Structure 1
């Protein structure tokens, strides 16, 4: 066997060993230590969360529905969308926070970040800054984070350490973007069926939300659920009901 073949075999062997250790490390990575899906409480409570905004028209309509039903929610916003709505976003943010609802971080570009933890961290910082620059009282404002696609990978623990935070927010993903396939009743049933297991509910800021959100709130109320928020200034702050299941 000549030197070239030996070198190729050695390189291939090292690559296989590296891949093996990557698979092992990924398989033992415990997602439960890094994400929250529930408020652990002795009472029936849920949290309405809204992803992918800000969309000024849709989010103001969502706020209309929340206020009409005397409930609150948490909006996870994409930094790029904040920039695109920069002229009017402060008014929306003030409305959200004054009502008892809250604003969190959904990264800057809503991308997939596996193998690029540095980019993820950079985007979280950038979006945090955009949020803080558009609220009236940024001091000591805690910004919860939800990753796009509920993605997870081994590098996320390092990201949380850099952010000095303990968790990413997940929850029940209903498939509401398939509203035209499911229809209103089936979609609401999916939320109701799963709320006892994952009481943080993920909803998206898109026009169809107006069709099902009022009825979803009424169904949850009829089932005896209260509605929590991340806003510490609200009487419905989640810590008044229990703790996140970290």
Structure 2
């Protein structure tokens, strides 16, 4: 499929027809946009908008009012092809703070390398309980130097509510978690999402990232999803290109703190 058509399919299935991604979350279609609202530790924000110059400012103000009333910070996930073309400037003017842009990339799951070897002494373990979740959080905090407790809460909630939709995996060496990632499955769609990939310093550059991508792609294909997609940072984009991923567009999170 051509990148433009694949991007349009992504917009339709995962943005315009989005479903709640965790317990306590609800997806609402309000005018020309789609948003998710849930607990404070969940992802809250605008998933899709089809605005123009005449209604953009009113829609932005309406979302600020909605999330303020709920006492929640939220994210407006802006894609490069969203309209109007100056929507990013309008968000800035309304008090949003942009984070680093990422590249939306996708590939056919069945076309990715089927078996990337792990470094010697490393094994992959499925995350199925609280102990595994703690290892995921530990990897993220060591890899990125940030508080990742919210990731743990989200994983525990989803494992309790619907464990089949969030296959997470940890790479372990000599009993120590050294890399972790998760796969979000979207039932009824062609897509599965690759999220949360992180490797602790000292284990980078040894193929763990590629191995975890390959592992999750196999799971996605086995579950009937044709494509895997990822919001790629600059550090992972070259690796994904070599594996066969295509860039579809860029996306920038705009964050609003009430």
TM bucket normalised to smaller: 0.3 to 0.5
- Name the TM-score, length of structure 2 as normaliser: 0.32
- Name the TM-score, length of structure 1 as normaliser: 0.33
Looking at secondary structure, tell me which structure has more helix per residue.
1
Higher relative contact order (CA closer than 8 Å, sequence separation 6+): 1
Looking at secondary structure, tell me which structure has more strand per residue.
2
- Structure exhibiting the larger radius of gyration computed from Cα positions: 1
